[in-house]
Chain A
Amino acid sequence: MLRMIAWRLPQIVATLVILSLAAWLAIGAMPGDPISLAMMADPRLGPADIERMRALHGLDQPLIARWWAWASGVLHGEFGYSRLFARPAAEVLWPALRGSLALLGAALAIAATLGIAAGMLAALRPRWRAPVDAVALVSQALPSFWLGILLIILFAVTLGWLPAGGTPDSGSAVEAARFLILPVATLAIAHLAAYARHTAAAMAEVLRAPWITAARARGAPESRIAFRHALPNAAVPLLSILALDAGALVSGALITETVFARPGMGKLLTDAVMGNDHNLALLALLLVAGTTLLATLAADLAQRALDPRLGRDG
């Protein structure tokens, strides 16, 4: 395992460096830099003003030189200044990250718990297979924006039980939880299907294995077979989904954040890229990519721990 970590960590660092350069060049190549926007806003800017502004913002330098200056800053812990929010990029990032972690963390925890339970039920009790499939199909087919609006109309506008979106004014945990219910429900319903279907398929396969038949022949109770023998083996493919969802934890859920007007990483990342805010976009992208890569590594390690056969080929 240590060999694997030693091998994968440099790969992760190299991937992040290449990604940052590619993203920097891609954003820089998009039309409409900050000076173009300033020109639209202030028509009295003359050619000399524009030249001086480009120099002032470093936009007269080649893109690669600007990336190098940014990367050198990052190595010294300087993540730069967000042009859109007029604050240090890291300072803008943390509230959005907190918002996304709370929203997606709760949604994924609920989706994974309910999805795995439903998948197990479908695998262990065949008569439940059809209803679980139907629920999974419906939850997968419902577009998040539509479901979100539906929940808002029902629970916020018509019944007035829950807020329609936004964030609470007070710091109370109860109030914060009230604001989370609808967006968490929207996301959890959307994610539930994947866990249910994968669990059902993996459990069904494991339950057909000869050693499960042997365990039953030895008289092991069904609950022990399900939780001690079948679930750990069926969990191996689920870990991959969880690893990818860990990336989603920090990349945010753009549609849900937009519909419920919640600050989060999805919205922040989109605004930063579209608003030509290099520093913020890069910091957010690196955080998302770094988390996904590290979570994938953690999932690989966990899979090997659960199934030692995976490590035999190196």
Chain B
Amino acid sequence: MTVAKLSPRLAVLALLLAAPLQAAAQTRDTLTIGMAQATGTFHPNIESMLAKSYILGFTRRPLTAHGPDWRPVCLGCDSFPTLENGQVARETTPDGKPGMHVTWRLREDLRWGDGRPVTAEDLRFAWEAGRAFETGFGGAEFYRSAYEFLSDGPRSVTLRFDKLSFDAGSAGNFEPLPAHIDRAIWEADRRNYRSRTAYDTDTANPGLWNGPYRIAAVQPGAGVTLERNESWAGPAPAFRRINIRVVENSAALEAQLLAGQLDMIAGELGLSLDQAIALERRSRNRFRFEYRTGLVWEHLDLRLDNPILSDVRIRQALMLAIDRPRIVQSLFDGRQPIAATAIHPDDPMIDKALAPWPFDPARAATLLEEAGWRPGPDGIRRNAEGTRLALDLQTTAGNRSRETVLQVIQGMWRATGVEARIANQPPRVLFGETLSQRRFQGAVLFAWISSPENVPRSTLHSDEIPTAARNWSGQNYPGYSNPEMDALLEALPQELDAEKRRPMWSRLQAMTHRDLPAIPLWHRAEPHVWPQWLDGIRPTGNMSPSSLWVTDWRVR
């Protein structure tokens, strides 16, 4: 058989083989994403949910966000407000207090999906609705502080604040709301606006969306369908349609990915870390995996008014007795960075000189001896009065990963002569009562979610210790009280100069590292699973979801 005779047959064969590939390429104008959480309301200012934030990343443009490098960037505005560019300025409030004003200039090409431009009136509506408490917007503190709205044109907005705050330029959750659709609904019944907003009664209305995509259909509890926003003037996104499917059971989520029903799993709220590691081992070549350290940090809150835990030497000994590198290596394949404090490794204010506490059982034993706790006949230490060194150790029942970690910690503490009694509770009981009303007596393993340069006032200031008289508000569950820390937490937000804030942040980290109101464990990693043919996704590891940069996503 000659080459000439063979080639037509080869050509036919090649065509036949290529047909499925061509079909696949043609169908890649649609992307199907799986995520593990359903969303309730789609209103950007009512209730804070990761799933909603991820979907709104495709469909809305906030004024600002934090990029993958953790620097603040303008998305809906022209330039990020700073002291240097004059868009932030100190001033005195009418009642003589130090205040400030911040100016944002809206991007000229920003339009709602029905073609109307996004204007200052949309921000005025958001500000008015946020200031009216009965509307029920989140971020009440921001709106309470922003006492005056000024605008000298359809694209310029200035807010005057009655206090100084270094992060006011980020705008919190102050972002344009479509006044031409929702203002009349809000004005008709402010108290019930949250249940009547067009975001929930007419979700597929293009006029609600100003991002690269718009929500075209909603299947409550099951997912949403996004289509290109025809009025979007920025770079065109690669996909004609994006389907977001909610699969709350992570085993089912993985099965749908393997069966080809899903193209990718959102790292922001998808597979658990152990599941992703196992999946990567099984199907390394089929998908791409990226592990990005997120904002969630796991820790043990300690009840500081427990007589045992009020002694800082005991807290330090408990810290030294936990072999965190071994736990992270054996349970999480070494993919979660050990935490020195609550500050995220990518946070610009992290003090890199501060090393995480080591695993040092000998030093832990010395500290316990110094504190008067000596080994008893059963190996558990006792003090001079014969009291056993015993603590309750709790976490959320049903969270397999945390339950395992707790058992390992229990064993490690036992080896140092500390008895830990595990008493796990359902999340609703643990968070709804035990923690929030400070009914725990020992240590509780749970996680907080942070944000870049997030001043931890609510968890460390003595005014934030929950009590019945304060309606149990505040998150200082350990009961940490330190006048120096209180002063620092009050001064930090008011310092507008980043370089002057840096030593303050270092001091704050040094104090929490020494005093250990909470034992830091690790920063949780988010496993992102993408198909080999998808490029351009950049997980941020912060509260700005990767979906905000969907116009960078490309088929390889």
Which chain A residues have a beta carbon within 8 Å of chain B's beta carbons?
Answer: 30-33, 36-47, 49-54, 56, 81-87, 91-92, 95-96, 149, 152-153, 156-157, 160, 163-167, 169, 258-261, 263, 267-268, 271, 274, 276
B47 in contact (CB, < 8 A): yes
> Chain A CB within 10 Å — which of B41, B222, B436, B471 has the most?
B471
Write the B239-250 contact mask toward A (1 if CB under 8 angstroms, else 0): 000010111110
Bound-state CA distance A96–B256 (Å) is: 21
Q: Can you sample 11 A-B contacts with CB below 8 Å?
A: A43-B475, A44-B140, A49-B133, A54-B471, A85-B40, A85-B221, A86-B47, A164-B256, A259-B251, A261-B247, A261-B248
Which A residues lie within 8 Å of B256 (CB)? 163-166, 261
Which A residues lie within 8 Å of B117 (CB)? none
Bound-state CA distance A92–B219 (Å) is: 10
Please tell me if the beta carbons of B458 and A87 are within 8 angstroms of each other in the complex.
no
Bound-state CA distance A261–B265 (Å) is: 15
B252 in contact (CB, < 8 A): yes
**Range for the number of chain B residues in contact with chain A:** 35 or more
Please tell me if the beta carbons of A36 and B251 are within 8 angstroms of each other in the complex.
no
In angstroms, how far is the closest chain B Cβ from the Cβ of A78?
Answer: 12
Please tell me if the beta carbons of B140 and A49 are within 8 angstroms of each other in the complex.
yes
Please tell me if the beta carbons of B220 and A165 are within 8 angstroms of each other in the complex.
no
B141 in contact (CB, < 8 A): yes
Which A residues lie within 8 Å of B221 (CB)? 85, 92, 95-96, 263, 267-268, 271
Q: Which of B133, B138, B261, B471 contacts A166 (CB 8 A)?
A: B261
Which B residues lie within 8 Å of A276 (CB)? 428
Which A residues lie within 8 Å of B219 (CB)? 95, 167, 263
B119 in contact (CB, < 8 A): no
B134 in contact (CB, < 8 A): yes
Please tell me if the beta carbons of B195 and A81 are within 8 angstroms of each other in the complex.
yes
In angstroms, how far is the closest chain B Cβ from the Cβ of A255?
Answer: 10
In angstroms, how far is the closest chain B Cβ from the Cβ of A160?
Answer: 7
Which B residues lie within 8 Å of A53 (CB)? 136
Write the B95-137 contact mask toward A (1 if CB under 8 angstroms, else 0): 0000000000000000000000000000000000000011010
Q: Which of A33, A45, A46, A160 contacts B260 (CB 8 A)?
A: A160
Please tell me if the beta carbons of B40 and A83 are within 8 angstroms of each other in the complex.
yes
B276 in contact (CB, < 8 A): no
Please tell me if the beta carbons of B255 and A156 are within 8 angstroms of each other in the complex.
yes
Which chain B residues have a beta carbon within 8 Å of chain A's beta carbons?
Answer: 38, 40-43, 46-48, 133-134, 136, 138-141, 191, 194-195, 200, 219-222, 225, 243, 245-249, 251-253, 255-256, 258-261, 428-429, 431-433, 436, 457-459, 464, 469-475
Bound-state CA distance A31–B136 (Å) is: 22
Report the tally of A-B residue pairs with Cβ distances under 8 A: 153
Bound-state CA distance A274–B252 (Å) is: 21
Please tell me if the beta carbons of B134 and A56 are within 8 angstroms of each other in the complex.
yes
Which A residues lie within 8 Å of B459 (CB)? 43
Please tell me if the beta carbons of B191 and A56 are within 8 angstroms of each other in the complex.
yes
Which A residues lie within 8 Å of B432 (CB)? 30-33, 36-37
In angstroms, how far is the closest chain A Cβ from the Cβ of B174?
Answer: 14
Please tell me if the beta carbons of B258 and A164 are within 8 angstroms of each other in the complex.
yes
Please tell me if the beta carbons of B136 and A167 are within 8 angstroms of each other in the complex.
no
* CB-CB nearest in chain A for B433: A31
Please tell me if the beta carbons of B261 and A164 are within 8 angstroms of each other in the complex.
yes
Which A residues lie within 8 Å of B248 (CB)? 258, 261, 267
* CB-CB nearest in chain B for A34: B47
Which B residues lie within 8 Å of A267 (CB)? 221, 248
Which A residues lie within 8 Å of B41 (CB)? 86
Bound-state CA distance A286–B21 (Å) is: 52
In angstroms, how far is the closest chain B Cβ from the Cβ of A106?
Answer: 19
In angstroms, how far is the closest chain A Cβ from the Cβ of B453?
Answer: 15
Q: Which of B40, B134, B140 contacts A42 (CB 8 A)?
A: B140
Which A residues lie within 8 Å of B475 (CB)? 40, 43
Which B residues lie within 8 Å of A36 (CB)? 431-432, 436, 472
Bound-state CA distance A166–B40 (Å) is: 19
Please tell me if the beta carbons of A166 and B47 are within 8 angstroms of each other in the complex.
no
Please tell me if the beta carbons of B255 and A164 are within 8 angstroms of each other in the complex.
yes
Which B residues lie within 8 Å of A84 (CB)? 40
* CB-CB nearest in chain B for A159: B259
Please tell me if the beta carbons of A274 and B428 are within 8 angstroms of each other in the complex.
yes
Please tell me if the beta carbons of A44 and B458 are within 8 angstroms of each other in the complex.
yes
* CB-CB nearest in chain A for B136: A56
**New A-B contacts (18) at CB < 8 Å, excluding given A32-B432, A163-B261:** A31-B429, A32-B433, A41-B47, A41-B48, A41-B138, A45-B140, A47-B470, A49-B140, A52-B133, A54-B471, A86-B40, A86-B43, A149-B251, A152-B259, A156-B258, A166-B222, A258-B248, A261-B246
In angstroms, how far is the closest chain A Cβ from the Cβ of B486?
Answer: 16
Please tell me if the beta carbons of B259 and A156 are within 8 angstroms of each other in the complex.
yes
Which B residues lie within 8 Å of A38 (CB)? 47
Please tell me if the beta carbons of A46 and B473 are within 8 angstroms of each other in the complex.
yes
Bound-state CA distance A46–B46 (Å) is: 18
Q: Which of B195, B247, B255, B436 contacts A86 (CB 8 A)?
A: B195
In angstroms, how far is the closest chain B Cβ from the Cβ of A85?
Answer: 5
Which A residues lie within 8 Å of B48 (CB)? 41-42
Please tell me if the beta carbons of A39 and B40 are within 8 angstroms of each other in the complex.
no
- What 8 A-B pairs are tightest by C-beta distance, nearest first? A32-B432, A43-B458, A86-B41, A31-B432, A164-B259, A31-B433, A44-B141, A156-B259
Which A residues lie within 8 Å of B139 (CB)? 42, 44
In angstroms, how far is the closest chain A Cβ from the Cβ of B143?
Answer: 11
Q: Which of A30, A43, A157, A167 contacts B428 (CB 8 A)?
A: A30
In angstroms, how far is the closest chain B Cβ from the Cβ of A44?
Answer: 4
Bound-state CA distance A281–B40 (Å) is: 15
* CB-CB nearest in chain A for B429: A31
Bound-state CA distance A156–B431 (Å) is: 38
In angstroms, how far is the closest chain B Cβ from the Cβ of A100?
Answer: 13
* CB-CB nearest in chain A for B138: A42
* CB-CB nearest in chain A for B195: A81
Which B residues lie within 8 Å of A46 (CB)? 470, 473
Please tell me if the beta carbons of A157 and B258 are within 8 angstroms of each other in the complex.
yes
In angstroms, how far is the closest chain A Cβ from the Cβ of B170?
Answer: 14
In angstroms, how far is the closest chain A Cβ from the Cβ of B195?
Answer: 5
Q: Which of A30, A37, A42, A259 contacts B252 (CB 8 A)?
A: A259
In angstroms, how far is the closest chain A Cβ from the Cβ of B80?
Answer: 23
In angstroms, how far is the closest chain B Cβ from the Cβ of A279?
Answer: 11
Which A residues lie within 8 Å of B472 (CB)? 36, 39, 50
Bound-state CA distance A56–B48 (Å) is: 18
Which B residues lie within 8 Å of A91 (CB)? 220
Given contacts A157-B259, A164-B261, contact A260 B252 (CB under 8 A): yes
Which A residues lie within 8 Å of B220 (CB)? 85, 87, 91-92, 95, 263
Given contacts A39-B473, A44-B139, A47-B471, contact A258 B252 (CB under 8 A): yes
Please tell me if the beta carbons of A32 and B261 are within 8 angstroms of each other in the complex.
no
